[in-house]
Amino acid sequence: MGDKNCASLVLLSLVLLSGIFHLETIKLGFSLSGCKQVERKALLQFKESLTDPSGRLSSWVGEDCCSWRGVGCNNKTGNVVILKLNNPSRQSFDMYQDDATNELGGQINPSLLQLKELDYLDLSMNNFGGVQVPPFIGSLKKLRYLNLSGSYFGGTIPQSLGNLTNLLYLDLNNFLQESSEIDLGWLSGLSSLKYLNLGGADLSKAAGYWLEIVNMLHSLVELHLPNCDLPNLPLNFPALNFTSLSVLDLSNNGFNTTVPHWLSNISSLVDLDLNSNDLQGEIPDAFAKLNSLQGLDLSGNSFLGGQLSRNLGKLCNLRTLKLSRNGISGEVSDFINALSECSNSSLEELDLGFNQLTGNLPISMGYLTNLRYLELWHNSFQGLIPQSIGNLKFLKEFYISYNQMNGIFPESFGQLSALEVLDLSENLWEGVITEAHFINLPNLKDLSLTKESPNISLIFNISSDWIPPFKLSYINIRSCQLGPRFPTWLRNQNELTTLVLNNVGISDSIPDWFWKLDLVLDELDVAYNELRGRVPNSLRFRYPGVVDLSSNRFEGPLPLWSFNMTRAYLRNNSFSGPIPLDIGSKMPLLTDLDISFNFLNGSIAVSVGNLGKLLTLVISNNNLSGEIPESLNNITSLYILDMFNNNLSGLVPKWIGSLSSLRFLVLGSNNFSGELPSSLQYCTLMDSLDLE
């Protein structure tokens, strides 16, 4: 949730005021009185027990340990007070996703006990390979800040951490390599704690009493318990001590109750996150009392329903409201009207997607002038988008796909100068789109305007000499009238990575200037048009590249593209000549190849057998001849093999029975002879066998 940054600033101010960094006496890497030698030796012993593949601790030489990287000293006494050894290269808790070269590992040496004044210890985002968290950390009595998050320790949380009575900040988010049940009794001793994060810990053992324990921490400002296997969220809790709680994150647990009303009594809340639970019932009207609330995330609670009340719209300090993937129904007018009546609405993100909302979008939607992200997709909204939408000068992303909107969307879209993503797909639009809809959208990057139905009711009427103000990276337009000429406004779109112009009424050749844009694509889909001419081999793709040229009039030899292609659909064209001999070396990563309904001749290239990742091979309705090459035996993962209606001959090879994943085998309308091999009985997953 974006507003956690704001709440964290509140916490940081509190922490600074509490003196956790002693900014008046501490300089990281500097001390007027020099390093204490007993502490220098302790640090060297600590270093010797660590693994340091990238040499992050290479500066730990010389006499003054206060000048070493990650070491901070009190500049009056020379005592080490800070060890900041977090790994800056890791950005997530997935040890396989990020660069591991900067990770520290090994053992935590008890020599740290010699650092008598240490009050800040950060070992986060390293990899200690499942070693136990040393219980002696509980003897570092001066600690006020302890961060072991994402460092892959083993075992469980040592009870001795409960001795750190001065601790203000404790972050153990995803710090265990493997989850094990954790008892929370030790928490009751941390009476000074302001920040607590136990994300990813298995707290199921504490399911019956976790709230009572946490309620003893009277000074808490932030509490993070996401993904903690907590099935129990008490409906009644009379004696709350959270008078300063600003952030409460209980997301991704197993709560299957209604939303408890006692949450609305935590008047200091700035950020409340209950997403991805199984909460039921309606959003309590009592939440309207949370006047300080800036972020509310109730998304992903599929049994949370009812209507959005006007009272919820009175939370005028809200900056982020996430209610997607629930069962919320009814109209939104009263709710949006209330939000818009705030003297200066702070709302930056409104996510109502994947619900059962109906009715029209109110004009007041355009009065939420601070909106950056508006997500309304996958509902049943109807009618027009109000003209007032053009007032949202800061809007960056707008999603309204998969609704029942109709008519034409307003020209005021052209005034959304900050817009980067526009998704209008799968509605009932009709009318004409002109340059005016895009006239002042210099930041637009993603444009989606698709319709599953092939019937075209939306027409682009854009001048051939129009130069767009934007450089798109993603275009997905389906079942709209864009042709008959290939759109010349693409001439300056040299940053494209995805281009989908499917069933858009183009009956033209693709001009040379398009091939010369030198694009590196993720996807090219121009299927179901009347495009003609030859397709060059010069197209470049990024893995996993996808191309669909189906149902056009392309001709000439079958094109081959870059190594990174995974899916190629070229069916129903006029490609001719043989299957290229080097197809297996040019596109070895193909998983799907469909070249059916063309005019290909000659034998099946032996190198097709080098396409070892193929799941589907469809070469039906061509003029291919000869026998099925034995090399196809190498494609062990083949799911569909369709050779229907060619001039193939010879025996049906025995090795087909070794294709254990085969579900559909289509060999009809060829010239095969002899008996069916008995080995086909081993294709136990076979759903369809066509020998017509």
Distance from C-alpha of 314 to C-alpha of 310, rounded to nearest angstrom? 7
Q: Which residues pair with 651 in a beta bridge?
A: 673
Q: Which two tokens stand for residue 186?
A: 């030790």
The confidence score (pLDDT) of residue 92 equals 60
Distance from C-alpha of 612 to C-alpha of 591, rounded to nearest angstrom? 8
pLDDT per residue as tens digits for the range 109-139:
999 999 999 999 999 999 999 999 999 999 9
The confidence score (pLDDT) of residue 94 equals 56
Distance from C-alpha of 187 to C-alpha of 178, rounded to nearest angstrom? 21
Indicate whether 5 pLDDT > 70. Answer: no
Decide: 227 and 253 in contact? Cβ < 8 Å: yes
> What is the 3-class SS of 267-313, one letter each residue?
CCCCEEECCCCCCEEECCHHHHHCCCCCEEECCCCCEEECCCCCCHH
Distance from C-alpha of 305 to C-alpha of 355, rounded to nearest angstrom? 9
Ramachandran category for residue 228: left, alpha or beta (phi over 0 → left; psi -120 to 50 → alpha):
alpha
Edge-to-edge strands, sheet with 647-651: 532-534, 553-557, 574-577, 599-602, 623-626, 647-651, 671-673
Strands (E), 335-372: 349-351, 356-360
As a whole-number percent, the residues of the chain with pLDDT over 90 amount to: 81
Q: Which two tokens stand for residue 125?
A: 């985002």
Q: Is the bond preceding 362 in cis, omega lying within 30 degrees of 0?
A: no
pLDDT per residue as tens digits for the range 379-432:
999 999 999 999 999 999 999 999 999 998 899 999 999 999 999 999 999 999
Decide: 317 and 289 in contact? Cβ < 8 Å: no
Average pLDDT over residues 683-687: 87
Task: Give Cβ neighbours of residue 55 (< 8 Å, ≥ 6 apart).
Answer: none
Q: Which residue has the tokens 């693409």?
A: 490
Distance from C-alpha of 650 to C-alpha of 670, rounded to nearest angstrom? 10
pLDDT tier for residue 89 given thresholds of 50, 70 and 90:
confident
377, amino acid identity: W
Average pLDDT over residues 26-41: 71
The confidence score (pLDDT) of residue 514 equals 96
The confidence score (pLDDT) of residue 351 equals 98
Indicate whether 100 pLDDT > 90. Answer: no
What distance lies between CA 464 and its chain's CA centroid? Answer: 37
Strands (E), 494-646: 498-502, 520-525, 532-534, 540-548, 553-557, 565-569, 574-577, 592-594, 599-602, 616-618, 623-626, 640-642
The confidence score (pLDDT) of residue 26 equals 44
The confidence score (pLDDT) of residue 239 equals 79
pLDDT tier for residue 284 given thresholds of 50, 70 and 90:
very high
Q: Which residue has the tokens 């009711």?
A: 457
Average pLDDT, the chain: 91
The confidence score (pLDDT) of residue 182 equals 86
Indicate whether 95 pLDDT > 80. Answer: no
Of the listed ranges 3-17, 220-234, 241-255, the one predicted with least confidence:
3-17
Dihedral Cα 363, 367, 373, 379, nearest 10 deg? -20
The confidence score (pLDDT) of residue 99 equals 55
The confidence score (pLDDT) of residue 10 equals 46
The confidence score (pLDDT) of residue 93 equals 56
36-50: buried (b, 16+ CB within 10 Å) or exposed (e) per residue? beebbebbbebbeeb
Whole-prediction pTM: 0.89
Closest CA to 429 of 447, 395, 453, 393: 453
The confidence score (pLDDT) of residue 190 equals 94
Distance from C-alpha of 190 to C-alpha of 635, rounded to nearest angstrom? 61
Task: Give Cβ neighbours of residue 600 (< 8 Å, ≥ 6 apart).
Answer: 558, 575, 576, 577, 578, 579, 619, 622, 623, 624
Average pLDDT over residues 203-218: 91
pLDDT per residue as tens digits for the range 595-614:
999 999 999 999 999 999 99
Distance from C-alpha of 584 to C-alpha of 580, rounded to nearest angstrom? 9
Q: 61 exposed, middle or buried (CB, 10 Å; 0-12, 13-18, 19+)?
A: exposed
As a whole-number percent, the residues of the chain with pLDDT over 70 amount to: 94
Indicate whether 23 pLDDT > 80. Answer: no
The confidence score (pLDDT) of residue 21 equals 46
The confidence score (pLDDT) of residue 409 equals 86
DSSP 674: S
Average pLDDT over residues 236-251: 90
Closest CA to 652 of 634, 670, 636, 639: 670
Indicate whether 3 pLDDT > 50. Answer: no
Of the listed ranges 447-456, 500-509, 546-555, 566-575, the one predicted with least confidence:
447-456
Decide: 54 and 102 in contact? Cβ < 8 Å: yes
The confidence score (pLDDT) of residue 32 equals 55
Distance from C-alpha of 404 to C-alpha of 402, rounded to nearest angstrom? 7
Decide: 3 and 294 in contact? Cβ < 8 Å: yes
The confidence score (pLDDT) of residue 16 equals 41
Average pLDDT over residues 299-323: 94
Which ranges of 560-629 would DSSP assign to H, the alpha helix?
Answer: 583-586
Backbone angles phi, psi at 340, to 5 degrees: -70, -20
Closest CA to 165 of 104, 216, 203: 216
